[in-house]
Structure 1
């Protein structure tokens, strides 16, 4: 290993205001991430973006033309000394909070970054390690792109069937477009297919609230091997995913009993009902939640796949009708004012034959990405400090698609 200061490896540059630029296809980054797209770039090529103000832990890597605003620095990297992606991953392992120079908003100066000590292996080893890590990231990105396409398909399918009413008729033709009988529904104030009904969410799901066990008693919570306890913050961290397994904390049997928490089965649709309203996810296994939720357990012949988009489509209306003096909150009485359409059982069953496989594939890809992320994060510090070598990994994982795979039943990082 050779010791450097960060100033030996890159040159830091200030971001600039973008408001004078027009819309385009060049990404603009701030300390919080991607902001918008413009028609000019500030820099082209590989760069590590270092927060100047705000979230100091959000170090970003880019390898394209880009623009940065003044809350984040970009860098010009000396590729004769370091492999950019390797250095990026190295920096993500560091705790930079102690370097904060701001009295209010967290801030970092050129000098604070430049004085960070860095220990690097030779350039060839850096490139080998970067290849392993970037392959894992590339696989995750491929899965994310597939899931985005699947999400568009699932949403289009729902809208086609339950908004436009062009589900297949008895002859396999689009119902409404082919002249299927429609009747005006007074409650919904619109025409719906003959034989369909209206109702409220209580007609299609058991609506369940949550609670918080006393945090004064540490025996109410655990970080593993308890029952998942979900908060709106957990759904915020889960943004971009359709399913959730667990949050930051689990609750113990004691915590469940003392706070009368209700266990909700897999397939329950979780809706954050305050601070903020509108985060949505499907429980992958049995869960509990805090009081910031209204959760929908499908009943009768209704399904998670139907409820998910029925709720999602109503979120703007739910939020508009929510009350509260300090912050808005969705109450049980609010939900009773929201009128919904109730298709007959035979339509839901046919819908499921197409919708369920799409949801299952999304769930599978999300779980695979979780394992790949765990594997990457488990390997990262060991690769960086030399505990594991790329050569050893290749011999252990020879023949797999990436040179590495994430095992389904392995909890990386556990002894």
Structure 2
């Protein structure tokens, strides 16, 4: 540890550096919702006139300073701008920039570390629910850091290599998901599944029949059913009734809408393993959040317990890809209904599922596409599980690298 030094955060990092933006015209803005939970990559931007908010460039780190965003881990590395471009963001960001003492990538991982986060949280002030970091107090906090940038870069390189692989897997999955959706749409939305001669059915003059229920033409021999006809929708438990009796008891993570969207965290609740089997979640299960946030996803974060406000969707007749995409497509219909009514669709009921209407191909055609799409879905699931393992490894290494417990040669 002889090559590490004690310093204040304010001496090691520049806070909210001064930058200029044009007074007129729109520039790139990064709102709070474009930062994921413990995700390095920023999820895009919007264009807006600059009125207020911190300004930043590529290489800067954005840290949420307001509760609960700070506690939840909203911290990201800026790398989505053009060279020399300046953007701005939420007034609830702190911008961290390297100086002559520090490396930009090291700063990002320092800001993600429990060491930094605990100090930032200890500097929060204000009323409950609206607490913010006192930046002056945070700057005065003392930390132990490598004495030279080369050591900092070595540490950041270990962690960024893991994040690079995670982001590569995410890009691969995005492509696989797009390919699967494109095939599904080509076969079952455009109706150009292969005919008996291997030609696109509708484009090659396949017979279409007008259906009075769905008010459009569908291929001859297809049926009209409801979402409720093609799958079973199992609602979750009131999990508070199944809490473990003590810390040593085996448990399952409770999968609520937050976990479905953001993954597991230290705040994820637990239940005993002795819940009904139908309410247990496994990798590959289709989850459908039906209250407030309407979404459908394939679960990949290990065994869990199904909470209320989420359906686990299964089917004894139809393959997973078919009911997954059919529900995904119909969500747009539910959301459109809400938009037309200028209201928020509070939740989806059994009646909504029964009243829904979809065109269903013969099972033989569905099975043919399953042979093509299933490998895509399996690869997506494998990549997600690998990403979870990589995330666990990174999060295990992070605090030890940041306090010098593990040395990088």
TM-score, with length taken from structure 2: 0.81
Q: Is the 8 A contact 1:222 1:249 kept in 2?
A: no
1:234 to 2:259 alignment: yes
Residue 27 (structure 1) shift: 5.7
**For the residues of structure 2 that align with 1:110 and 1:233, how far apart are their CA atoms?**
29
**For the residues of structure 1 that align with 2:165 and 2:281, how far apart are their CA atoms?**
32
**For the residues of structure 2 that align with 1:127 and 1:383, how far apart are their CA atoms?**
12
Match of 1:269 in 2: 286
Match of 2:323 in 1: 307
Q: Is the 8 A contact 2:254 2:307 kept in 1?
A: yes
Among residues 177, 188, 192, which one is paired with 1:151 in the alignment?
Answer: 177
Greater RCO (CA < 8 Å, at least 6 residues apart): 2
1:171 to 2:197 alignment: yes
Residue 61 (structure 1) shift: 2.0
Corresponding residue SS for 1:214:
helix
Match of 1:289 in 2: 306
Q: Is the 8 A contact 1:15 1:74 kept in 2?
A: no
Distance verdict in 2 for CA 1:130–1:169, change over 3 Å: same
Among residues 124, 144, 167, which one is paired with 1:119 in the alignment?
Answer: 144
Q: Is the 8 A contact 1:228 1:286 kept in 2?
A: yes
Q: Is the 8 A contact 2:223 2:361 kept in 1?
A: yes
Alignment deviations for residues 92-142 of structure 1 (CA, whole Å, 9 cap, x no partner): 222222211222522123302311212112322211111111111111111
1:81 to 2:101 alignment: yes
Structure 1 residues not aligned, in runs of 5+: 239-243, 392-415
TM-score, with length taken from structure 1: 0.80
Among residues 8, 12, 19, which one is paired with 1:9 in the alignment?
Answer: 12
Distance verdict in 2 for CA 1:267–1:218, change over 3 Å: closer
Corresponding residue SS for 1:219:
coil
Corresponding residue SS for 1:311:
helix
Match of 2:57 in 1: 44
Among residues 347, 350, 359, which one is paired with 1:329 in the alignment?
Answer: 347
**For the residues of structure 1 that align with 2:320 and 2:346, how far apart are their CA atoms?**
26
Match of 1:97 in 2: 121
Residue 268 (structure 1) shift: 3.6
Q: Is the 8 A contact 2:243 2:272 kept in 1?
A: no
Pairwise mapping of residues 14-413 of structure 1 onto structure 2 (< 5 A)? 26=28, 28-30=30-32, 33=35, 34=42, 36-38=45-47, 42-54=55-67, 55-56=69-70, 57-63=73-79, 64=81, 65-69=85-89, 70-78=91-99, 80-93=100-113, 94-95=117-118, 96-103=120-127, 104-123=129-148, 124-215=150-241, 218-219=243-244, 225-238=250-263, 248-254=268-274, 256=275, 262-263=279-280, 267-282=284-299, 287-300=304-317, 302-319=318-335, 328-391=346-409
Q: Is the 8 A contact 1:31 1:51 kept in 2?
A: no
Match of 1:400 in 2: none
Instruction: Give the paired residue count.
Output: 376
Q: Is the 8 A contact 1:180 1:193 kept in 2?
A: yes
Distance verdict in 2 for CA 1:158–1:20, change over 3 Å: farther
**For the residues of structure 2 that align with 1:281 and 1:313, how far apart are their CA atoms?**
15
Q: Which moved more, 1:26-35 or 1:5-14?
A: 26-35
Corresponding residue SS for 2:244:
helix
Corresponding residue SS for 2:125:
coil
Distance verdict in 2 for CA 1:91–1:330, change over 3 Å: same
**For the residues of structure 2 that align with 1:4 and 1:16, how far apart are their CA atoms?**
26
Alignment deviations for residues 314-338 of structure 1 (CA, whole Å, 9 cap, x no partner): 0133356799x99812111111010
**For the residues of structure 2 that align with 1:20 and 1:222, how far apart are their CA atoms?**
57
Distance verdict in 2 for CA 1:211–1:194, change over 3 Å: same
**For the residues of structure 2 that align with 1:30 and 1:264, how far apart are their CA atoms?**
31
Residue 11 (structure 1) shift: 2.2
